[in-house]
Amino acid sequence: MNWLKLARNLTLQVEPTNACNLDCKICMRRNFQRPVRFLPLDEFTKILASGNFGYVGLHGWGESLLNQQLFDMVEYAEAKGVSTNLTTNATLLEDNMDGILKSGLREIAFGIYEKELFTKVIPQIERLIEEKGRRNFNRPKTYLDITIYEGNLEQITELVRLASDMGIDAVVLHRLFNVYKVDPSVKYITAGEEQELFARLRQLASSLKLELYLPHKHSYPCRIVNRSIFVTVEGKVSPCTYLPDVYLGDALEQGVDKVMQSRVYKDFIKNMKNHPICSRCQW
Amino acid sequence: MCAPITVTTGGAISGCTGACQVMPQILASLGIAGVLLWNFRGVIRKRLSFKKVAS
Q: CB distance from B19 to chain A under 8 Å?
A: no
**Mutation test of the interface with chain A: which of B1, B14, B29, choosing the one with the most A Cβ atoms within 10 A?**
B1
Q: Which of A27, A138, A213 sits opposite B8 (nearest CB)?
A: A213
Per the document, the length of chain B is: 55
For residue A230, the SS3 value is strand
d(CA A217, CA A205): 20
- Predicted model pTM: 0.85
So what's the ipTM on this one? 0.71
Asked if residue A56 lies in contact with residue A16, where contact means CB atoms within 8 angstroms, the answer is no
Percent of chain B clearing pLDDT 70 (strictly above): 67
Q: Are strands A249-250 and A236-238 parallel, antiparallel or unpaired?
A: antiparallel
DSSP letter string, A140-174: SEEEEEEEE-GGGTTTHHHHHHHHHHHT-SEEEEE
Q: How far is A263 from chain B (nearest CA, A)?
A: 24
Q: How far is B31 from chain A (nearest CA, A)?
A: 10
Q: CB distance from B25 to chain A under 8 Å?
A: no
Lowest mean pLDDT among A37-41, A233-237, A268-272: A268-272
Q: CB distance from B30 to chain A under 8 Å?
A: no
Nearest to A224 by CA among B16, B15, B2, B22: B2
d(CA A83, CA A34): 29
Is pLDDT at A204 greater than 80 in this prediction?
yes
Q: A225-256, pLDDT tens digit by residue?
A: 888 999 999 999 999 988 878 899 999 999 99
Q: A120-146, pLDDT tens digit by residue?
A: 999 999 999 999 999 999 999 999 999
Asked if residue A270 lies in contact with residue A221, where contact means CB atoms within 8 angstroms, the answer is no
Is pLDDT at B17 greater than 60 in this prediction?
no
Asked if residue A6 lies in contact with residue B30, where contact means CB atoms within 8 angstroms, the answer is no
Q: How far is B12 from chain A (nearest CA, A)?
A: 10
Q: Are strands A55-58 and A11-14 parallel, antiparallel or unpaired?
A: parallel
Q: CB distance from B23 to chain A under 8 Å?
A: yes
pLDDT band at B8 (very low <50, low <70, confident <90, very high): confident
Mean pLDDT, residues A202-220: 92
d(CA A153, CA A100): 31
Q: CB distance from A9 to chain B under 8 Å?
A: yes
- Helix%, strand%, coil% for chain B, nearest 5: 80, 0, 20
Q: CB distance from A61 to chain B under 8 Å?
A: yes
Nearest to A76 by CA among A58, A96, A94: A58
pLDDT of residue A212: 95
Q: Are strands A236-238 and A228-231 parallel, antiparallel or unpaired?
A: antiparallel
pLDDT band at B49 (very low <50, low <70, confident <90, very high): confident
